[in-house]
Structure 1
Amino acid sequence: MDALHEGWRQAVEAARGGAVYRALADAIAADIAAGRLAPGAALPPQRRLAWGLGVAIATVTRAYDELSARGLVTAEVGRGTRVGRRRRADDGVIAPREAARPRRRRETSAEAEDETALIDLSLAQPADPAAAAALSRTLAALAAAPQAAELLAYQPARGAARHRAAGAAWLGRAGWSPDPARVTVTAGAQHALVVALAAIAAPGEAVAVEGLANPSILAAARFRGIRLKPLPIDAEGAAPAALDRLAAEDGRLRGAILSPSLHNPTGASMGPARRADLAHVIARRGLFLIEDDVHAPLAPPAALPAPVAALCPDQVLLVGSPSKVLGPGLRVGWLAAPAALDDRIAAALWASAWMAPPLGAEIVTRWIDDGTAETLATAARAANLRRRALLDQRLPGLDLTLAPACAHAWIGLGPDRGHDRVWDPDRFAEAAEAAGVRVAPARAFTVPPVPAPAAARLSLAAAPDDAVFLKALDRLARLLDPRAAPSSLRPIA
């Protein structure tokens, strides 16, 4: 078996007892993204690959079907299964499996009485009605403002000066804030991630990331054709020593994309010492760090250390957004980056969006300037703490990882509640959805070839109010009842 197939075998072995077909599909997809499988290349015949990997033919069939559903391969009679053509810059992007599923609107309190209505706790978004009221007031004020017409015109590519200054204020904490001249306004944090990746790495080059990572990061890397190298994580997130070793081993490693503050999905945060160690490794190895700081506003202002960008500003690209406390629909983000990357960032901006929509940036700027943003952030923090208490009350004894400020909980599905077996996270997610609650299984966050742990992420902020959230918890409590779990969750040995 050649080196390519050996990587597939390792992915399959790591997933034994779980969704092996999906692990195989992920491994093949990673090789396609990295260019190791060129457009038009034929995948091995299913029977031969099944024999070589020691799996059932049905497993390979499901893996190929999964790749086809992602738009990565095509199957034709007489030609077998082949890698699809490489997407042009104007082609659509294949969304992650979780994002591609049809989504209902968020359930209302009245609908919470309906036992069949789906409650989606897979996404983290605030649910404070005060935000809608603030939006109405601001839109009315904008409509009456004499300068409203300016928002219909082209803006400077990196954003209007006042919008960049507001972004610098939002990104700052612990006595530090970036120079507004180094801040670029983007169409949300996801846009900032794509621009940042384009600035530091070319297709085929490698970037390190936590072994469990934000699915948006995985999608951005896949879109750019960038290889992701997983790093081990612990209670403080990624280990700087592991990044140091990886940089020594891989000469094509361009940098890392990490979440030092309220990591998604585990909620881990780096302390000051680890941030200093990370900055030291980045500087010594000549790497770039994309610092995902999107969840940081969920913590009280003094609860987190300064970003790593404060320690190493010439090599860190800081990504921030108000979406977790103001709402994702505004699509506003910021990227604070070194001056050395200005040309690359400008090129990525021009190719991807020309400029961020100025209307959303103006709304957020006004909210930052008049204190509305901090008022809504304070309310979001209080709501998350309140729902954390409800979670502890309704699901006592749950194997739970949840930072006090986090908007999501990382639920362990290992031996608990009287069981001595581990639940498969994909099967748990399927059973939860059948029970009326959507959660995000661990595989959505897993970077191949890291095996998916027995865990799932549950959002505290997704439900529109506490009544709906309690309804979801009650459904999960019934599902996790040891008297019902063996049949409904189908545990694996």
Structure 2
Amino acid sequence: MDDYRLIADQLADDIAAGRLRPGDRLPPQRAFARSRGIASSTAARVYGELVRRGLATGEVGRGTFVRASAPVSHPALAEPAGARVDLELNFSVLPEQPALLAPGLERLLRPAALGPALAPATITGPAGAREAAAPVLGRAGWTPQPERILFAGNGRQAIAAAVAALVPVGERLGVEALTYPVVKGIAARLGVSLVPLPTDADGLVPEAVREARVRAVYVQPTLHNPLGVTMPPARRAALAAVLDQLDIYAIEDAVYAFLRDEPAPLAAFAPGRTVVVDSLSKRLSPGLTLGFVVTPPGAVADRVAAALRSGGWAAGGFALAAATGWMADGTVAGLVRAKRRDAAERQAMAGKILRGYALRADPHAYHCWWELPEPWRAETFVAAAARHGIAVTPAAAFAVGPAHAPNAVRLALAAPPVDTLSAALAALAAVASGDYAGVE
């Protein structure tokens, strides 16, 4: 009989109109059958039809829930492109994550736990938060002292607080000549001038800092974005010496460092001169943000704390409570191990598909830097990729100052499903080689 489809249509209308919202649990099938005056077998067919349409999902032992969104269709990789493969944003969400994270949220649904989580949060977090965060942030024998850890809403806010604390309005912040694009916006809002500093195969050139006359340096020593370079220990030690000689501080962005065990952070070489900024977004997902600032002792710690408070950049209480549980029970550590494997597999795939091209990448990274072949220019390549439904980032997005941006693009490998990523990389290789008809 087709009656079950009519009932499924009614529920689909309720979902579309918002009367049933994402995450709502549908009644147990027997209760639903009684409320509708239908057989239990018909109710089962109704729920099955909603799952088939992608409007609901069944979870063993828990019930049937309205989906957060309709499933994404397989993207088109040839013209005309109606879908989009995102190789711009670099966030990984593994298929097993929802099941791993759900118990941590369920803990907070008890009234005794939910009450404190809904209270205003402080930049030092609830009891146990700093102790849970310290091993998550540590690596290569370095672990921050818990009392040195402050919490922000996300990594960008952590960077903004560090810049605000270290560089007065109108002063200069040194950055790698190619840097994280958000830093440019943060500096502009804070009235800070960026000074591009040269890099080589080992990262930021320390002597360039000496000559730049800056108040502080923002640097990405591990898995630099976009170049993928990781500073060797000797370069870190040399930079630490310059910081000490000039009596200035470094802001060490460690957001991608969780993907590598070695080397020790710049903070291990210059513990009194380094403010470490990090976040959970890459380790977990973009919808679960929490930023960290690890301060050196002394007045700088007070200035960073004041910047977090005055900027309104403290973490939300619920997010901080959830993250504390995930950090303490090993969920974050487990996801880090899984994402290291995932990044290595994706990077190996990119190297294989784009073999023969000038690709710069670390085997541990979730991104790679592609120096394009002639006659391509970055802007025209980005446009050609977009016509095939693929979004990539041109070098100009990362360039600081008036110098001409390299003829290159960054490929973010983390977001698409593996099969989609493989197809997208193959399509980009074909575009680069001119195999697609109509490519400029």
One fold, TM greater than 0.5? Answer: yes
Computed over aligned residues only, the root mean square deviation of the Cα atoms, in angstroms, reads 2.0
**Alignment partner of 1:476: what SS?**
helix
Q: Does 2:142 correspond to 1:169?
A: no
Spell out the pairing of 1:352-367 with structure 2 (5 A cutoff).
352-353=311-312, 355-367=314-326
Residue 456 of structure 1: CA displacement? 0.4
**Alignment partner of 1:147: what SS?**
helix
**Alignment partner of 1:326: what SS?**
coil
Residue 259 of structure 2, aligned match among 298, 301, 321: 298
**Alignment partner of 2:112: what SS?**
coil
1:346 equivalent in structure 2: 305
Q: In the aligned structure 2, how far is the partner of 1:327 from the partner of 1:342?
A: 28
Q: Does 2:245 correspond to 1:284?
A: yes
Question: Is the 1:255–1:288 Cα contact (8 Å) retained in structure 2?
Answer: yes
Q: Does 2:295 correspond to 1:337?
A: yes
Q: Does 2:183 correspond to 1:217?
A: yes
Residue 343 of structure 1: CA displacement? 3.0
Residue 374 of structure 1: CA displacement? 1.6
Spell out the pairing of 1:195-274 with structure 2 (5 A cutoff).
195-246=161-212, 250=213, 253-274=214-235
Q: In the aligned structure 1, how far is the partner of 2:149 from the partner of 2:257?
A: 17
TM-score, normalising length from structure 2?
A: 0.80
1:459 equivalent in structure 2: 412
Matched-pair identity in %: 37
Query: Which shows bigger deviation, 321-330 or 106-115?
Result: 106-115
Describe the shift of the 1:405–1:114 C-alpha distance in structure 2 as closer, same or farther (beyond 3 A): closer
Q: In the aligned structure 1, how far is the partner of 2:76 from the partner of 2:408?
A: 28
Q: Does 2:142 correspond to 1:190?
A: no
1:312 equivalent in structure 2: 270
Residue 476 of structure 1, aligned match among 418, 428, 431: 428
Residue 385 of structure 1: CA displacement? 1.6
Question: Is the 1:138–1:363 Cα contact (8 Å) retained in structure 2?
Answer: yes
Q: In the aligned structure 2, how far is the partner of 1:438 from the partner of 1:354?
A: 30
Residue 149 of structure 1: CA displacement? 0.6
Describe the shift of the 1:112–1:414 C-alpha distance in structure 2 as closer, same or farther (beyond 3 A): closer
Describe the shift of the 1:386–1:286 C-alpha distance in structure 2 as closer, same or farther (beyond 3 A): same
Residue 476 of structure 1: CA displacement? 1.1
1:440 equivalent in structure 2: 393
- The one-letter code sitting in structure 2 at the alignment partner of 1:474 is A
- The one-letter code sitting in structure 1 at the alignment partner of 2:344 is L
Describe the shift of the 1:107–1:317 C-alpha distance in structure 2 as closer, same or farther (beyond 3 A): farther
TM-score, normalising length from structure 1?
A: 0.71
**Structure 1 residues 281-302: Cα deviation after superposition (integer angstroms, max 9, x where no partner):** 0011001100001100112x3x
Residue 426 of structure 1, aligned match among 357, 360, 379: 379
Question: Is the 2:75–2:389 Cα contact (8 Å) retained in structure 1?
Answer: no
- The one-letter code sitting in structure 2 at the alignment partner of 1:394 is I
- Equivalences, count: 369
Q: Does 2:279 correspond to 1:321?
A: yes
- The one-letter code sitting in structure 2 at the alignment partner of 1:319 is V
Residue 315 of structure 1: CA displacement? 1.6
Describe the shift of the 1:287–1:349 C-alpha distance in structure 2 as closer, same or farther (beyond 3 A): same
1:57 equivalent in structure 2: none
Residue 161 of structure 1: CA displacement? 4.0
1:408 equivalent in structure 2: 367
Question: Is the 2:248–2:273 Cα contact (8 Å) retained in structure 1?
Answer: yes
Q: In the aligned structure 1, how far is the partner of 2:70 from the partner of 2:193?
A: 38
Question: Is the 1:294–1:324 Cα contact (8 Å) retained in structure 2?
Answer: yes
**Structure 1 residues 51-91: Cα deviation after superposition (integer angstroms, max 9, x where no partner):** xxxxxxxxxxxxxxxxxxxxxxxxxxxxxxxxxxxxxxxxx
Query: Which shows bigger deviation, 306-315 or 119-128?
Result: 306-315
Q: In the aligned structure 1, how far is the partner of 2:301 from the partner of 2:343?
A: 38
Q: Does 2:351 correspond to 1:399?
A: no
2:47 equivalent in structure 1: none
Describe the shift of the 1:110–1:298 C-alpha distance in structure 2 as closer, same or farther (beyond 3 A): same
- The one-letter code sitting in structure 2 at the alignment partner of 1:187 is G
Q: In the aligned structure 1, how far is the partner of 2:320 from the partner of 2:217?
A: 28
Residue 369 of structure 1: CA displacement? 1.6
**Structure 1 residues 355-402: Cα deviation after superposition (integer angstroms, max 9, x where no partner):** 211222222222222221121111111112212232233332121011
Q: Does 2:75 correspond to 1:112?
A: yes
Q: Could you tell me which runs of 5 or more consecutive residues in structure 1 were left unpaired when the two chains were aligned.
A: 1-104, 416-420
Describe the shift of the 1:114–1:381 C-alpha distance in structure 2 as closer, same or farther (beyond 3 A): same
Q: In the aligned structure 2, how far is the partner of 1:183 from the partner of 1:425?
A: 40
Residue 114 of structure 1: CA displacement? 7.4
Q: In the aligned structure 2, how far is the partner of 1:461 from the partner of 1:382?
A: 12
Q: In the aligned structure 2, how far is the partner of 1:114 from the partner of 1:410?
A: 21
Larger radius of gyration: 2
Question: Is the 1:158–1:355 Cα contact (8 Å) retained in structure 2?
Answer: no
Q: In the aligned structure 2, how far is the partner of 1:114 from the partner of 1:404?
A: 26
Residue 106 of structure 1: CA displacement? 11
Describe the shift of the 1:354–1:413 C-alpha distance in structure 2 as closer, same or farther (beyond 3 A): closer
Question: Is the 2:107–2:113 Cα contact (8 Å) retained in structure 1?
Answer: no
Q: Does 2:126 correspond to 1:160?
A: yes
Q: In the aligned structure 1, how far is the partner of 2:278 from the partner of 2:266?
A: 13
Question: Is the 1:442–1:452 Cα contact (8 Å) retained in structure 2?
Answer: yes
Q: In the aligned structure 1, how far is the partner of 2:308 from the partner of 2:194?
A: 23
